[in-house]
Amino acid sequence: MDAFYGSLATLLVIAGSGHYLWQVLRQNIKPHFFTYLVWSIVTGIVAAGMVAKHVGPASWRTIVLAFFLTIGTLASLRNGVSYIRRFDIIVLILALMAIPVWIATKNPDFSIFWILVVETVGGIPALRKAWNLPQEEGVFGLFMNAASNIFALLALNHASLAITTYFITWGLLLTLLASIAVVRRGNFTTSP
């Protein structure tokens, strides 16, 4: 059953992130570059931590998401980097500092908690941007990726507090980001 839920979570990430990436490439949406750079770095670290902890099928979704976030970050450069604030630079530095913490701790649970803090703080620039420029967010992809966390939780072959908290927090953060964009647009359509 773990493989079924892991596959379902991964398919939701492929659908959501694929749609989001398509919208970025078509220049319909503009993700906040620093947020997506932070998210691609730390999601890659979390994916490595999950592999180290032998999380199993629940990690598939995170591995695929790290790939899409990295490609999306690079693709967003095509749309131009804007809406960067001093706080965004601080968040980026914190994310980069997470890499040596992850290597030094030799404790995947601790590093996942640290990264969870950085990833959540790293989302603040995107939340601010979604509030001010809601038309530049792709809510369909965000909602699909948020939903994937439910199935990733069901795919855990052994739950740890750090990994369970990671999936719950990531799901809530993406849901909040998409919801802000939907409400601020003044309608409840999910396009782009």
> Would you list the DSSP string of 126-186?
HHHHHHH-GGGS-HHHHHHHHHHHHHHHHH-SS--HHHHHHHHHHHHHHHHHHHHHHHHHT
Long-range contacts of 99-108 (CB under 8 A, 24+ apart): 99/41, 99/45, 102/45, 102/48, 102/49, 108/49, 108/50, 108/52, 108/53, 108/162
pLDDT top residue among 113 and 44? 44
Helix (H, G, I), strand (E, B) or coil at 109: helix
- C-alpha of 183 from chain center: 21
Structure tokens at 165: 């908290």
Asked if residue 172 has pLDDT above 80, the reply is yes
pLDDT bucket at 104, cuts 50 / 70 / 90: confident
Q: What is the pLDDT of residue 5?
A: 95
More reliable by pLDDT, 146 or 107: 146
Tens of pLDDT along 19-76? Answer: 999 999 998 888 888 888 888 988 888 888 888 888 889 999 999 999 999 999 998 8
- Give the pLDDT of residue 159: 75
Provide mean pLDDT across the span 1-6: 91
Q: How far apart are CA 164 and CA 145, in angstroms?
A: 16
Residue 108: per-residue pLDDT: 66
Confidence category of residue 90, pLDDT binned at 50, 70, 90: confident
Distance between CA atoms of residues 147 and 124, nearest Å: 20
Provide the pLDDT for residue 175: 96
**Average pLDDT over the chain, rounded to an integer:** 86
Q: Please work out, in degrees rounded to the nearest 5, the angle formed at the alpha carbon of residue 76 by the alpha carbons of 29 and 21.
A: 60
| Residue 151, pLDDT score | 96
In 3-state terms, the chain is what percent helix, strand and coil (to 5)?
Answer: 80, 0, 20
Task: Give the separation between CA 39 and CA 115, rounded to whole angstroms.
Answer: 10
**Averaged over 77-87, what is the pLDDT?**
78
